[in-house]
Amino acid sequence: SGVLPSISKLSPGQAAYHFLAGYQSGKFMPAYHDQFLSLDPLELAKRLSTQ
């Protein structure tokens, strides 16, 4: 028998904040930054909150 994972209910603003403050593999990586990322992280956060 399995156990369901915890679920968090975030507002769009909270989701954008956590996206911009992103942590990946225990390392701080704002907006999960990729050196080839062509869009502004704030624009990505805005797009995230509209979906």
pLDDT digits (tens, 9 = 90+) for 7-51: 878 888 888 887 777 755 556 565 555 554 566 777 777 877 776
Say if pTM beats, i.e. exceeds, 0.85: no
pLDDT of 49 reads: 74
Phi-psi map region of 32: left, alpha, beta (phi>0 left; psi -120 to 50 alpha): left
**Average pLDDT for residues 2-10, to the nearest whole number?**
77
Cα–Cα distance list, 51 to 24, 36, 45 (Å): 22, 23, 10
Radius of gyration of the chain measured on its C-alpha atoms: 13
Contact (CB, 8 A) for 21 and 27: no
- Domain residues of the chain, as ranges? 12-50
- The secondary structure of residue 10, as a DSSP letter, is -
Instruction: Count CB-CB contacts under 10 A for residue 41.
Output: 16
